[in-house]
Amino acid sequence: MADGQLSPGDFIEDRFELLKPLGKGAFGAVWRGVDHAFDQSPVAVKVLYDRYRKDKKMLGRFRQEAHILEKLAHPGIAAPIAWSADGDIAYLAMEFIDGETLDVRFADNAEKGVPVPPQGIAWLCDRLCEAVQFAHDNDVVHRDMKPKNVMVNRRGDAPMLKVLDFGIAKMLVGSQIDPTTAGRVLGSVLYISPEQVLSKKIDHRADIFSIGTIMFELIALRRAWARDESGDPHPFHVAITGGEHNSHVAVLKRIARGGRPSACAFRPDLSPHVDEVLHKAMSIDADARYASVTEFAVALRTALLAGPSVEDSVVTTLVDPESATLTDADGHVSASVERPIEVRTVEAKPEPFDELATESSGQPAPVAPPAAIAPEPELELSALPPALQKSNASGKWVWGGLIAVIVGVLAWFFANG
Residue 20 near residue 32, CB atoms below 8 Å: yes
Per-residue model confidence (pLDDT) at position 135:
94
- CA distances to 38, 99, 321, 341 from 43, rounded to whole Å, are 10, 13, 24, 24
- Rounded to the nearest 10°, the torsion over CA 310, 280, 263, 343 is -10
pLDDT, mean of residues 382-390: 32
For the cut 50, the answer to whether the pLDDT of residue 198 exceeds it is yes
Cα distance between residue 415 and residue 417, in whole Å: 6
Cβ neighbours of residue 252 under 8 Å, at least 6 residues apart? 189, 192, 197, 406, 410
User: In this predicted structure, what is the pLDDT of residue 129?
Assistant: 98
Q: What angle do CA 207, 208, 213 make, to 5 degrees?
A: 95
Would you say how long the chain is, in residues?
417
CB 314 within 8 Å of CB 354 = yes
Domain boundaries, the chain: 11-95, 99-311, 381-416
**Whether 142 contacts 135, CB under 8 Å:** yes
Give tens-digit pLDDT for 333-347: 333 333 332 332 323
Query: pLDDT tens digits for 55-108?
Result: 888 888 888 888 888 889 999 998 899 999 888 899 999 999 888 999 999 999
**Which option is the CATH number for 99-311: 1.10.510.10, 3.40.50.300, 2.30.30.230, 1.10.3720.10?**
1.10.510.10
Most confident of 57-71, 81-95, 370-384, 400-414: 81-95
Helices (H), 236-376: 248-257, 273-281, 293-305
pTM over 0.75: no
125-157: pLDDT as tens digits: 999 999 999 999 999 999 899 999 999 986 556
C-alpha 153/C-alpha 141 separation (Å) is: 24
Options 2.30.38.10, 3.40.50.720, 3.40.50.150, 3.30.200.20; CATH of 11-95: 3.30.200.20
- β-bridge mates for residue 152, sequence order: 100, 161
CB 284 within 8 A of CB 276: no
Which one has a higher pLDDT value, 14 or 51? 14
Helix, strand or coil, per DSSP, at residue 81: strand
The whole-number pLDDT of residue 165 equals 82
CB 1 within 8 A of CB 48: no
Task: Specify burial of residue 174 (Cβ count, 10 A radius: 0-12, 13-18, 19+).
Answer: exposed
Q: How far is residue 254 from each of residues 116, 215, 233, 326, 405, measured CA to CA in Å?
A: 26, 18, 12, 34, 17
pLDDT computed for residue 372 by the predictor: 33
Q: How far is CA 88 from CA 13, 14, 52, 337, in A?
A: 10, 13, 12, 40
Q: Which amino acid is at 159?
A: P
